[in-house]
Amino acid sequence: MNIFDLTGRVAVVTGGNGGIGLGIAQALAAQGCNVSIWGRNAEKNKSAAASMAGSPGKVDTRVCDVTDPASVNTAMKATLDTFGRVDGCFANAGIGGGGRRAFIDRTEEEWRTMFATNLDGVFHAFQAAARHMTDRANAGDPFGRLVATSSIASIFGTARNEHYAASKAAINAMVRALGVELARFGITANAILPGWIKSEMTAGIMANEKFVANVMPRIPMRRFGEASDFGGIAVYLMSKASSYHTTDCFVIDGAYAAY
């Protein structure tokens, strides 16, 4: 038996219409997992689903604002109506640093907006998924996977984006607590921490020769990877093989850390 065969499993991927989220959704579908992509933009959702045409797993999309609990609950109900179950939830919501201003110059609104955007999406999606998973476990079907994408900033900090680092560290803390709380239901909770990823967002940074020469060597996890690399991590964490890696930290390929 192939322990990474996800045929028949169902995963929700929030923000799965681009970047890391899309790489995760594509990898899961390629392993036979049915995937429900939740994102705000219907056209991007449609494009993401088209990129997985021909995959063994069925792909479904939902227009959903993951920071709004009502929207999340509606999307979860629709996903359950379509697939009958949800086995995993990969929360990829959030925004970046929002500028390089000093901590003492930040406003209350900036602080609250950063925390709300980065934390609420994970909280609402995880809560909706966990309620379903625990109900299923109580009915004799103990299996569930909660995975959040976080940031190496949550471990190493980041100059003048400290409120971003704090919000991501809060996600890691929540994941660890959920790992303890939900273990008795057969539900694991983990966070994937991206390193440096090739994307439109980082293209300008990597075009700066001084940055590459002087800064990159000092970044602990500095391999420059593809968003699709996280797909392999997602498949592993979704599989039965990851049952004992709840809240443990391990490094993959010398570059990517997961909790």
Annotated catalytic residue 164: yes
Distance between the two ends of the chain, CA-based, in angstroms?
26
Between CA 119 and CA 170 the distance in angstroms is 8
The residue annotated as part of the active site, out of 164, 236, 256, 259, is 164
Q: Quick one: which of 123, 121, 147 has its CA closest to 231?
A: 147
46 Cβ contact partners less than 8 Å away, ≥ 6 residues apart = 61
List active site positions: 164
